[in-house]
Chain A
Amino acid sequence: MIECENIFKIYKNGDEETTVLKEISFTIKDGEFVAIMGPSGSGKSTLMHIIGALDTPSSGKYELDNHDVSKLSDDELADIRRSKIGFVFQSFNLLSRSTVLRNVMLPLVYSGVSKIKRDEQAKSALMAAGLPEDRWNHLSNQLSGGQMQRVAIARALVNNPSIILADEPTGNLDSKTGEIVLGTFQELNHKHNHTIVLITHEPYVAEHADRIIHIQDGSILEDKKNSKKRVVHNHDN
C-alpha cells in the first residue's frame, strides 16, 4: 500500500527555488492498477522517483506498506527498492551481453538468493510476463522490443514486489506491441493481483488502468476511477 501525504519537492539552485511537486496526497491500495498521467514537465517523473524510493520528498510523508520511506539514507532506499519495488523503464535497460534468464535474476543476485531458488523464481516470472520459453537463453539484445519489455517486466516481478512501477513502458514500442504489453500489465493485475502504477503522458495508455491520477504543474488535477477502461485480451504471446 502506498500512502502519500502532502508531499512537496523543491529543488534549490543557488537562491532560486523551483517547486516541482506541491501538496500531493493520495493512497494506492494493494491490487490497484493506477495510471499517473500528465504532460512532460508536470512533475510525474519526480513523483515516480519518490514512489520508487529513488528520491525522497523535501517535505511531507510517504509510507510504503506502513514504512516511512521519506527520510531514509541511500543504502536504506536501495534495500526498499530491492524488496518492495519492481521497475519497468521506457528503454528497457537490460544488460545486453547477458542472457534473458540472467537479466531477470539480477535483483535476486543482490538479495543473495540461492542459485536454485533464483532460477525457479526467474522462470516463473518469465512465465507470468508471457515470454515464450525458447527465448529464455537468448542474449537480451537478440530480442524484439516487445520481448525485451516483457523481460523487463519479468525482472520487475521476480522479487515479488509490493508495487510495479512502469515508466512510459510503451514509449519505445509500436502501438500494436504497446497494446500487448499493456495487456500483460492488466493480466498481472487481474490474475496475479499485482499492484501496478503506470506513468505516462498519453491519455490513451492511461485508459488501460482502473484509476487515473492526473497531474499538472506539480499538483493533482484530478484523481478518479476510469469509467471507460480499455481491456486488452492477449490470446497469444
Chain B
Amino acid sequence: MKFSDLLQETYSSLTVNKARSSLTILGIVIGIGSVIAMVSIGQGAQGSIEARIQSIGSNLIQVTPGAQRGVGVQVSAGRGSAQTLTQVDADAIIKEVTLAKAVAPEISKRYQVTAKGTNTNTQVIGTVSAYPEVRSVEIDQGSFITDDNVRSLARVAVLGPTTRDDLFGQGSDAIGQTVRINKVDFRIVGVTKAKGGTGFGSQDDMIFVPLSTAQRFLAGDTYVTTISIQAQDQSSMTEIQQQVTDLLLQRHNISDSSAADFSVLNQADLVATASSVTDTLTILLGAIAGISLVVGGIGIMNMMLTTVTERTREIGLRKAIGARRSDISTQFLVESVTLTFIGGVIGIIFGWLAALAVTQFAGITTSISLMSVSLAVGVSAAIGIVFGYYPARRAAGLNPIDALRYE
C-alpha cells in the first residue's frame, strides 16, 4: 500500500466521525499543552534563579559570621548578625590564601540617608576597591572607591542607581553632590550601573563607602559582616573554601570545625542547591501534566477499539480482497499516530500560549526549550504507537470469514 493511499484512507476514516476524532485529539492537546506549560514554568524558574545567583559575582566564595556559642549560654545569636569576623581576618585571607584572585571585606548596615531635603533608608556598604571585580558591579558614572580613599578615611560615596533616583531624581547627575549618612557628610564620586532584579536585596539600592570610613564614622568598630573572595576559576573554589576555613578556625582558636563561628559559602554549592530544587519542581510539574497525557492516550485507545469494532465488516472485506495483516495494522496505527500528532502540534501551540499568559499575568518567568518541544512531539507520537498498537493488532488479527459475517 502506498503512503499517499494510507493518508487518504486515514483522512477519510478520521473525518467520518469528526466529533469523536476532535474530542480524542482534545485529550492529547490538553496533555501535551499542560506538559509544555508546566515544564516551561519549571525551567523558567530554574533559569531566573541561576541568573540571580550568577549576578552576585562569578566564582564567588562568601565568608559570613556565624553563631558563636559561649560556655553555658544556651541562646545563640542569629547567623550573620554575630560579630566574629574582623578586618584582621580579611587581611589574613588576602595574605595567606594565595589562590584567591581578589578579596573584598565589607560591612553593611541600613541607615537613614539624607540629601538636600530628600531622605531614604538604604543599605550602606563599607568596602574596598576590589569589590566591583568580586561582586560584578559596574560603574556607570565617576569611579568606585579607591585604595587611597580607604587609606585616607575619605568621606566619599558611590551610589546605586535606585538610591540616586530616590535622592536626586530620576537619572540626574549626582556626582559632586553630598549625602548625609548618620550625621556624616559624604561626597558622591560615582554611580553604579543598574543590575536589575528584585528579590533578595536589590543590588541597585545601595551606597558604597570606604571600609575604613564606615568602621570609623558609622560602625565605630573593626568588625566586618561579609568577606567575599573571588576564585581564579571554578576548579579552585573547593580548595579556597578549605583554606579559608582552616585559616579562620586557626585564627579563632576553634579546634572543632562544627563549632565554627563563621560559615563559608561556595557559590557553586548555592547554584547546585537551587538547581536541584528547581529540577524537582520541574519534574513534579511535568509528572502532574504527564498524568493527563496518559489519560489522553487511553482516550485514543478507547476510540481506536470502538472504531475497530465498528469497522469489523470493512476489515473483513479488505482482507478478502487481498489486504495483508500488515496493511490493516499499519492503517490503524497511522490513524492513531495521526490523532496524537495533530493533538501534539496543537498542544504545543496551546502550551506555549499558556506559558506566555503565565508570564504576562502572573509575572512568572517561563522558558520553552527546543528540548521540551521535541520531547512533546516524540512523546505524542509514541503514545499513538503505544496506545494504537493493541487495537491495530486486534484489527489485523481478525479472521476475514468471521469479520464478513459480523453484524
Contact = CB atoms under 8 A, between A and B. Distances in A.
Interface of A: 49, 52, 54-55, 74-75, 78-79, 81-83, 87, 89, 93, 95, 97-98, 106-107, 109-112, 155, 159
B334 to A, nearest CB: 14
A110 B1 CA distance: 5
Given A54-B400, A93-B404, A109-B1, A98 B12 contact: yes
Nearest to A74: B325
Contacts of B324: 74-75, 78-79, 110
A55 B404 contact: no
B12 A97 contact: yes
A87 B12 contact: no
**Interface band, chain B:** 20 to 34
Contacts of A95: 314, 317
Contacts of A81: 319-322
Contacts of A87: 320-321
A37 B325 CA distance: 32
A155 B5 CA distance: 17
B239 to A, nearest CB: 69
Contacts of B1: 109-110, 112
A149 to B, nearest CB: 14
Contacts of B5: 109
B322 to A, nearest CB: 2
A171 B335 CA distance: 35
A33 B12 CA distance: 37
Contacts of B319: 78, 81
Question: Among the interface residues B1, B322, B404, which one has the most CB atoms of the partner chain A within 10 A?
Answer: B322
A29 B5 CA distance: 36
A155 B321 contact: yes
Contact of B322 (A49, A93, A97, A107): A107
B327 interface: yes
A87 B325 CA distance: 19
B18 interface: no
A54 B46 CA distance: 62
B272 interface: no
Interface string B281-325: 000000000000000000000000000000001101111111111
A93 B16 contact: no
A137 to B, nearest CB: 15
23 contacts: A54-B320, A74-B325, A75-B324, A75-B325, A78-B324, A81-B319, A81-B320, A82-B323, A93-B313, A93-B314, A93-B316, A93-B320, A93-B404, A95-B317, A97-B16, A106-B318, A109-B2, A110-B318, A110-B321, A110-B323, A110-B324, A110-B327, A111-B322
Nearest to B311: A95
Contact of A78 (B16, B316, B323): B323
A106 B315 CA distance: 12
A107 B325 CA distance: 15
Contacts of B323: 78, 82, 110
A129 to B, nearest CB: 15
B7 interface: no
A82 B321 contact: yes
Contacts of B322: 78-79, 81-83, 107, 110-111, 159
B80 to A, nearest CB: 75
B88 interface: no
A84 to B, nearest CB: 9
